[in-house]
A and B are shown apart, each in its own frame.
Chain A
């Protein structure tokens, strides 16, 4: 039913709906039309609101004050070239392989900022013509440093109040409850495992030239570390968001890698 006596307050309460063609029932729209036709104040209001709506739809695209790509790139997971993919058994046996900057760069796992910088450092530091074995060990340090940083980022992310919320809603609006630590955990663990496997290959290739007593002691220590890693993994499986357990696991992996690196670079038995 049309209400020819619509007041200004009533009209102003409907003003936004009045701007949309089908938001008001026919009778209410007719009453609003009648009111605005006779009320300069409400006609001005509608004109202003129409201008705001039109201008909002035509607002220009803004640009950030700086190039944000470097910040994005530094945070996205970089592809890692596994040492095993350098399928060169001859090299593992001690052959020579020239060092190119790109090779060293490829070993960098954390974005170009760190990866390229450290890669170049390695390239310069090791120079051309060094044994592939030493390069592989250096590369392992670089790649595993990346994994450690990945863990650190995961931990920071988990500690951040954003982490639980940011990951909780995907683009489809579906709520998810995956802790940030757990998401990154698997990738970093794969990196550690890959580097451990590469170092073990080197140790195996050198076994005959290393002191057997030393190897025995190191292997015994490695067993203890493996037990610690297994315990940490089992505990993390029960509590994937625990940064303390993640720290313990990272520390155990680091210790294992240090031992293996030490063994791989031991001077040959005299």
Chain B
């Protein structure tokens, strides 16, 4: 039994992803590491674009996989593992942002609602001396608009799905998306 727990390289005989999901759900950490290796970049991309901060996104990516490990036994295979993991990642990011907002509200009564729809001075901040690329412009969007833009235009979720995730109506989601696109155009031209 002790030998079975020793660390071994993960690049052994190729496992099918669904096999690794089943193995990892039973506690096989090497199978879980293979799943991690196969999905980490996509999950990091999602986190980085949703929060607009790569360092924080790295922490969130780790949170996602820890949460995945904890919840893997609940994965019933009704969707592809990648789809399930993606949704889990979205929830981790959204919960992190909610927690951060609650924390700020506790410490600062004047904190503004970052999800409120207002064009005001919300344009993405330009980087002096550099023409802004789309990635930078997305990072500079107000959080509410950024979330919806990333989920819809980058990740391909529908307005209904996003509305359910964010607890807003599909109409509210459309309004945020329109706002995000217009702000991006302003920043990029």
Check if A72 sits within 8 Å of B95, measured CB to CB: no
In angstroms, Cα B189 to Cα A173, docked, is 38
Check if B61 sits within 8 Å of A103, measured CB to CB: no
Of residues 13 to 71 in A, which have CB atoms within 8 Å of B's CB atoms?
13, 15-17, 45, 48-49, 52-53, 55-57, 59, 61-66, 68-69, 71
Q: A62-B48, A116-B7 are in contact. Are A165 and B99 (CB under 8 A)?
A: yes
Check if A166 sits within 8 Å of B134, measured CB to CB: no
The listed residue (B42, B45, B95, B178) touching A165 by CB distance below 8 A is B95
The listed residue (B7, B40, B65, B88) touching A171 by CB distance below 8 A is B88
Identify 19 new A-B residue pairs, CB closer than 8 A, beyond the known A45-B185, A173-B164: A15-B178, A16-B177, A16-B178, A48-B188, A49-B181, A52-B185, A52-B188, A53-B153, A62-B49, A66-B58, A68-B62, A69-B37, A102-B5, A162-B99, A170-B71, A171-B84, A171-B87, A171-B88, A173-B165
Residues of A within 8 A of B (CB-CB), count:
51
Check if A161 sits within 8 Å of B103, measured CB to CB: yes
The stretch from B15-23, B25-33, B110-118 touching chain A is B25-33
Interface set of A (CB-CB < 8 Å, partner B): 12-13, 15-17, 45, 48-49, 52-53, 55-57, 59, 61-66, 68-69, 71-73, 75-79, 81, 85, 100, 102-103, 105-106, 112, 116, 160-162, 164-166, 168-171, 173, 183
Interface set of B (CB-CB < 8 Å, partner A): 1-3, 5-7, 27, 29, 32-33, 36-37, 40-42, 44-45, 48-49, 54, 57-58, 61-63, 65-67, 69-71, 74-75, 84, 87-88, 91-92, 94-96, 98-100, 102-103, 134-135, 138, 149, 153-154, 156, 164-165, 174, 177-178, 181-182, 184-185, 188-189
Check if A61 sits within 8 Å of B45, measured CB to CB: yes
Mostly, the B contact residues are helix
Please name all residues of chain A whose beta carbon is closer than 8 Å to the beta carbon of B177 when the two chains form the complex.
Answer: 16
Check if A102 sits within 8 Å of B66, measured CB to CB: no
Check if B181 sits within 8 Å of A166, measured CB to CB: no
Please name all residues of chain B whose beta carbon is closer than 8 Å to the beta carbon of A112 when the two chains form the complex.
Answer: 7
Check if A166 sits within 8 Å of B2, measured CB to CB: no
Number of A-B contacts (CB under 8 A): 150
Q: Which of B2, B37, B48 has the most CB of A within 10 A?
A: B2
The listed residue (B6, B29, B92, B164) touching A78 by CB distance below 8 A is B29
Pairs A-B, 3 closest by C-beta atoms: A106-B2, A16-B178, A56-B153
Please name all residues of chain B whose beta carbon is closer than 8 Å to the beta carbon of A164 when the two chains form the complex.
Answer: 99
A-B contact pairs, 13 of them (CB 8 A): A52-B134, A52-B185, A61-B41, A64-B58, A81-B1, A81-B2, A102-B5, A103-B2, A105-B2, A112-B7, A168-B95, A171-B84, A171-B87
